[in-house]
A and B are shown apart, each in its own frame.
Chain A
C-alpha cells in the first residue's frame, strides 16, 4: 500500500495495512541530528524534509507558503520581516515577535487590503506530489491564528471584545485569502488541507463562547464548505490546548480530522476516541512536555503502544506528536516513537 493511500484510509476510518504516521512539521535541526546530516535550516527544505520522512517511515507531509520580505534587523540583530498580511515581525530562533501590527487603527478594518494570492506559490506541493508517494497537505490559517499574528495576541484578544465588528470584517477578508490559498494548494496537487488555528490555552478556549459564535465558527463552516466545493478533500483542523468544550463545533463545521490532542491540556485520547472517533480522524496525542523531550525511549515506546491500542482500532488514527517534531525532542525518542509505530502499528 502506498503512503498516500494509507493516510486516506485512516481519514476514511478504514484500517488499511498499518497505522499511518506523520507530523505537521519537523524542525530542521532535529532532522539533521536524526540523519547525521547538515542540511540548511530553512523552515521547509525539500531534500531534508523528504530524507527525514523516509528515515522515520513517515507517510505524510504538510507544506505551505507564507510570503514575507525582510525589511531590516531589530536592535538585537534579529531579522525583521513584513508579512503578506501587512504586519511586521522580528524572527527569533523559536518564535516571532510582532513589531508593527497589520493595521495601526483597528477602526480602519474596512480599508484593509486582502493579501494577494498571486504572491503565494504551490510549487513545493507539486514537487512532493509528483515525486513522492507521500500524502501531501497544504496548510492554511484560521481566523484566530491569522488575526492573532497580525496584531499580537494581547491586542487581538482585546479587539475581539472591544471591536468585534471590525474583527469580523478583517476575519472575512483574511479568510477570503486563506480559502484562495487552499484552492491554489489543491490545484497544485495537495491531497488535503491542514487548517491551523490555535484557539485554546491548556485551560480552555481563548475567547468567550459568544465571541467564538460571532467571529470564529461561522468562518470555519464557510471555509470548509468553500474548499470542499472546489475539491472534495479532507480538511484537518489543528489547535493545541484544551478543546473539550469546542469539539462539537469542530465536528459541526465539517472538518474531517483533528491534529494535536494535547494530553497535558486534558485531551484524553480514550475519551475523544469514544466521543468523536466516528466523526473525526484523530492525529496526535503523543506528549511533548515530558514524553518526547525528557522520558526514556522505553517510556516513549510504552506511550506509543498504549495510544495505538486506544485510538487505532477501526482506523481514524494517525500517529503523531501533539504538535510537531521540534528541536527539543531527543533524537532517540523520535526514533523510538516512529520505530514503535512502524513495528507495533500493523493492522492484522
Chain B
C-alpha cells in the first residue's frame, strides 16, 4: 500500500481510517519502522510545517495529532518487540501551580509525532518530579510549560532543582507558554525557548540529531 494514504488520513484527522491503514500495512508485511517513519512521522512533519506557515490552525493540528496517536497505539508494541529505539525520550509537564494543558499537550503530541517517547507528567507538576522522572527513564529532553505570568517563575525553580541535584548538564531543557520568551529562557538558563509546538518538535529533533551523531 502507499503510505501516502496514511499521511493524508492523519492530515484530515481521520483516526479510524489511520488505524485501518496501519493494520493493512502491517498485514501486507511492511516493516513497522517504515510505517512509523514514512507514514506517521512524515505526516506530522507536514502538519507541523503547515502550522508553522499559518496554513492550518491549532484545532487542525490537534485532530491530526489525535489521528496519528491512534495509529501509534497499534505500532508501539510492535516497535518495542522488534527492538526499534525511539529517537529520544522527552519528559514534559506544566509547572507547579499551573493547570493549563493545551500547549503542553500539543508539544507532547508533536514530540511523539517526530518519533520521541514522551513521558507526560500532567499539570501542576512539583519541581522535583521532573528530576525524578528524567533520571528514572534516562530522558534526553525536559519540556516545561507555563501559561500564566504568575506561574512562569516556577520554570526557573525546576531548572534550579536540576542544578541542585547535580544533573543539570545531562538534559536539554526546553521552555514555552504564552508569557515565556527568549530573554526569559536566557535568564533562567534553559537551553531553548520555542514559541509553538511545531517549532518545539523541530528544535528537539535538531538537538537529538546532533546528540546522537556518531
Contact = CB atoms under 8 A, between A and B. Distances in A.
Report whether chain A binds chain B.
yes
Interface of A: 76, 90, 92-97, 152-154, 157-158, 160-162, 201-208, 211, 264, 288-289, 293, 326-328
Contacts of A327: 150
A208 B57 contact: yes
Interface of B: 13, 54, 56-60, 62-63, 66, 97-102, 105, 123-124, 147-151, 178-179, 181, 195-196
User: A-B pairs with the 6 shortest C-beta distances?
Assistant: A97-B99, A157-B59, A328-B150, A95-B99, A153-B102, A208-B57
10 contacts: A96-B99, A97-B123, A97-B124, A153-B101, A154-B105, A157-B59, A204-B57, A206-B59, A288-B179, A293-B149
B17 to A, nearest CB: 13
Contacts of B151: 94
**Interface residues of B, dominant DSSP:** loop
Given A97-B123, A203-B195, A154 B102 contact: yes
Contacts of B101: 97, 152-154
A205 B60 CA distance: 13
A201 B97 CA distance: 21
A94 B99 CA distance: 8
B63 A158 contact: yes
A328 B149 contact: yes
A202 B178 contact: yes
Contact of A157 (B58, B99, B100, B148): B58
A201 B102 CA distance: 11
Contacts of A203: 195-196
Contact of A208 (B60, B124, B149): B60
A94 B59 contact: no
Contacts of B102: 153-154, 157
Given A94-B151, A204-B57, 4 more contacts: A157-B59, A158-B59, A289-B149, A326-B150
